[in-house]
Amino acid sequence: MNYNFLKIEKPEKLEDIGTLFGQGFKVSSSVEKAVDKILKEVEANGDRAILKFCRQFDRFDTKDINEVKVKSKEIELASKKVKKTFPDLVKALEVSYRNIKEYHNAQFKKESGSWTIKPGKGKEVGQILLPLERVGVYIPGGRYIYPSTVLMTVVPAMVAGVKEIVICTPPQPDGNIDQILLYLCGRLKIKEVYKIGGAQAIAVLTYGTESIKKVDKIAGPGNVYVTTAKKKVFGDVGIDSLAGPSDVAILADDSANPDFIAADMISQAEHDPDSRSILLSSSPDMAKKVIEKIYGHLDSLLKEYGNRVNMEIILKSLKKNCKIIFIKEKDRLVEICNMIAPEHLEIMVKDAKKVLRKIKNAGAIFIGGYCPAAVGDYIGGTNHVIPTNGNARFSSPLGAYDFLKRSSVTFYSKDALRKEKKFIEILSEFEKLFAHQNSVRLRFKNIKDIK
């Protein structure tokens, strides 16, 4: 085919970058209204509302709330079938599981645990580190099935010590959950799996119903309805992040392989029509070659995979959101990279480690020509639930730390409190919180004087 939709951009000022890349989580008023309605109904009507929305949105026609929960026998049968039918896939999932678990175990060990210090006589302060008790995981369905997301969300929670992990995922048109997902639920010993998708899944995990117990935190990506619902329920429940369309930025000089860059940009476009693929190149020749290679790879994909590859989505994404940027100065490109704070960042330059030290904002970073983002998506061990929409400026990939909470602990003896009593009195009086002041003074009054 003849393609001609990509061009090289040469932004003169950093301010121009904001025009090239609109950021932020924005939803239409119709989505907002639909999500509000779902959340309110589930909170008010529990099981009845869930069954209504299962019929309406998940196309799962049942009048029995017990049919929404996947039975243990379904998981057992799926596990046996999958092991026989998909032995290579099972082996790949095992390698992925092992790598993810190893990475998050190491991450957990580095996490600051429980500790105390004694800053003075009669004083002891510190923190205790505890796992969350009950976590809800949302696994998207619809266009694709995501067994990798089951591993990426459940394993860190397991490593952190969460005892109750609940999965919600949309059922297939026949009302069943995909066999591979059920196999993984069995492999990870997940006992609660519900055939609920969309905003209604977020609602049931947040508020609970007569039949389904609410959770303490929700993790996992989803569509705009799921993400909007997560945003609205935050505060009633914890959430991991607000997932927007996926993105990749590739920082490359003339030493990079244009075939590799083109292939990685197309693979990013495959996610969603709104996915973003960005090349930040210090070489004009490289930028030109990458455009040529993208066009060439599109034809090659069709020849090799035919209708199995979703070319409609890839082309929509590339035409709308693929940016090829050339700036000669590599430091300037790093500045741009830090400004857009990509979800995935691939560094393909001669002095990769030097450049890495200058990166301030990126979710997941992949170094060298033989480490595409697909490594992190599936097998590398690092997490693929990563901040999008430029949120890497202040957020981190999902990890074991997301399923932990800290409580501060303080002990004062009577002598220690007496020593610092006057400072509490001074501060509380200034803030006009006299009951606070009294709560300290009371402890040093004669018992007979307290009425």
- Token code pair at residue 69: 């929960």
Secondary structure class of 107 (helix, strand, coil) = helix
Question: pLDDT tens-digit profile of 329-358?
Answer: 999 999 999 999 999 999 999 999 999 999
CATH number belonging to domain 244-394: 3.40.50.1980
Q: Do domains 29-239 and 244-394 have the same CATH topology?
A: yes
CA nearest to 319, candidates 338, 343, 291, 282: 291
Count of helix runs (H) and strand runs (E) in the chain: 17, 14
d(CA 323, CA 320): 9
The average pLDDT across 362-380 equals 97
Residue ranges per structural domain of the chain? 29-239, 244-394, 415-449
Q: Which pLDDT band, with edges at 50, 70 and 90, does 111 fall under?
A: confident
The average pLDDT across 260-272 equals 96
d(CA 344, CA 323): 15
Question: pLDDT tens-digit profile of 171-212?
Answer: 988 888 999 999 999 999 999 999 999 999 999 999 999 999
CA nearest to 233, candidates 198, 199, 193: 199
Residue 186 contacts residue 147 (beta carbons within 8 Å): no
Question: pLDDT tens-digit profile of 40-96?
Answer: 999 999 999 999 999 999 888 888 999 999 999 999 999 999 999 999 999 999 999
Question: pLDDT tens-digit profile of 384-401?
Answer: 999 999 999 999 999 999
Secondary structure class of 201 (helix, strand, coil) = helix
Q: What pLDDT score does 447 carry?
A: 61
Least confident of 50-59, 142-151, 207-216, 412-421: 142-151
pLDDT at residue 450 tops 60: no
Secondary structure class of 105 (helix, strand, coil) = helix
CA nearest to 410, candidates 424, 425, 400, 422: 424
Place of tokens 């069709």: 302
DSSP 8-state symbol, 69? B
134 burial via Cβ count (<10 Å: 0-12, 13-18, 19+): middle
- Token code pair at residue 26: 């924005």
| CA of residue 149 relative to chain centroid, distance | 10
pLDDT at residue 219 tops 90: yes
Residue 385 contacts residue 149 (beta carbons within 8 Å): yes
Residues β-bridged to residue 237: 234
Q: What are phi and psi of 16, to 5 degrees?
A: -65, -20
Question: pLDDT tens-digit profile of 311-331?
Answer: 999 999 999 999 999 999 999
Residue 117 contacts residue 124 (beta carbons within 8 Å): yes
CATH number belonging to domain 29-239: 3.40.50.1980
d(CA 350, CA 143): 38
Which residues belong to the active site?
A: 343-344
Least confident of 25-34, 224-233, 234-243: 25-34
Higher-pLDDT residue of 448, 405: 405
Q: What pLDDT score does 127 carry?
A: 95
- pTM as predicted: 0.91
